[in-house]
Amino acid sequence: MNLVGFVATLALVFAGAAFAGSRIDAHPGKTKPEPAMAGEMAMAPQPVRGLAVSDHGLTLELARRTARPGERFPLALTIVDRRGATVRDFDVEHTKRLHLIVVRRDMTGFQHLHPTQAADGTWSVPATLRDPGSYRVFADFSVGGKPYTLADDLTVDGTVRSHELPAPAQSVAVDGLRVSRSEDLDFTVTREGRPVALADYLGAKGHLVALREGDLAFLHVHPDEDRLRFDAHFPTAGRYRLFLQFKTTDGRLHTAAFTEEVTR
Ligand SMILES: [Cu+2]
């Protein structure tokens, strides 16, 4: 490599670090990246998760990796350590010890499940995957204070009809409700124009999962304590699908999905 090439590579690495370290407030269609401060530059960029079946010594093992469309089946898995021993002790995160997110590769068919653990350490939950296609299964948990998001694919045989990601929108309709968002991921829920009261869900006003288009990288998005507001740090430009879940006071759980376009 010649010097010019070396300098260009360094500049690229530096630009990458600066970008990853900067705070991005994403809006549909535009962003306003704040200048990266010296302190933020020193911070390790927020790692994306959910791209690997194995990480830091733990591995996700699905009991089966195929299903028939519409068939109810036990979606079962174990988390094993380096020696192949089943992990049994999990920390409680968002009121649960293991969160399972299932979504088709085109980001349709989103499900958020909470499996139960058998005495032998196996996690299982009844699941139904309606449409054929390749599904991503994310196991989100924490062991010994360290968070993990491991993922594997599960295939449902049949003719696949893929869907394009919907365009970004300021509000979406779900279950007779209207969910509106602000530029900084502050959400409001209304019914016929009037605010709707929300019950707590998983120890907060709501739960948000963000997945990146293309590789379905999984982002942890942290909720505000008493509002339907979230603090997201998108690692790269691109399109993301946001899955917002909240509970109304009648006990029903609702899922509203938004497309987020993060630009440089
Ligand atoms: Cu969960």
Distance 98 CA to ligand 1 centre (A): 7
Q: How far is the CA of 41 from the centre of ligand 1 (A)?
A: 32
Q: Residue 113 Cα, ligand 1 centroid: separation in angstroms?
A: 6
| CA angle, 34 then 37 then 40, to 5° | 100
Q: In whole angstroms, give the CA distance from residue 106 to residue 161.
A: 10
Write down the pTM of the prediction.
0.82
Is 196 a residue whose pLDDT tops 70? yes
Distance 117 CA to ligand 1 centre (A): 14
For residue 139, report the distance from its CA to the centre of ligand 1, in Å: 9
Dist. CA 30 → ligand 1 center (Å): 30
CA of 159 to the centre of ligand 1 (A): 30
- Does 99 have pLDDT greater than 90? yes
Q: How far is the CA of 83 from the centre of ligand 1 (A)?
A: 28
DSSP, res 177: E
pLDDT value at residue 224: 83
Instruction: Tell me the CA–centroid distance for residue 115 and ligand 1, in Å.
Output: 9
pLDDT of residue 264: 81
Q: Which of 34-48, 61-75, 224-238 has the lowest mean pLDDT?
A: 34-48
Which amino acid is it at 260? E
The C-alpha atoms of residue 71 and residue 27 are separated, in whole angstroms, by 39
CA of 10 to the centre of ligand 1 (A): 41
**Phi, psi (deg, nearest 5) at residue 133:** 145, 180
The one-letter amino acid code at 154 reads L
Please give all residues whose CB falls under 5 A of ion ligand 1, grouped by chain where several chains appear: 99
From the CA of 39, how far away is ligand 1's center (Å)? 33
Per-residue model confidence as pLDDT tens digits over 1-49: 333 333 343 344 444 444 443 344 444 444 444 444 444 443 444 678 9
Tell me how far CA of residue 156 lies from CA of 52, 73, 134, 161, 240, in angstroms.
20, 12, 6, 12, 24
If you average pLDDT over every residue of the chain, what do you get?
86
Q: How far apart are CA 221 and CA 44, in angstroms?
A: 17
- Residue 192 CA to ligand 1 center (angstroms) comes to 29
What angle is formed at CA 131 by the lines to CA 128 and CA 134, rounded to 5 degrees?
Answer: 95
- d(CA 128, ligand 1 centre) in Å: 17
What's the CA-to-centroid distance between 99 and ligand 1, angstroms? 4
Band of pLDDT at residue 54, cut at 50, 70 and 90: very high
Q: How far is the CA of 140 from the centre of ligand 1 (A)?
A: 8
Question: Which residue type is seen at 72?
Answer: R
Quote the pLDDT of residue 5: 39
Contact between 77 and 122 (Cβ < 8 Å): yes
Tens digits of residue pLDDT in 129-161: 999 999 999 999 999 999 999 999 999 999 999
Task: State how far the Cα of 246 lies from the Cα of 248, in Å rounded to an integer.
Answer: 7
Question: DSSP secondary-structure letter at 69?
Answer: T
State the first-to-last Cα distance of the chain, in angstroms, to the nearest integer: 29
pLDDT band at 227 (very low <50, low <70, confident <90, very high): confident
CA of 93 to the centre of ligand 1 (A): 8
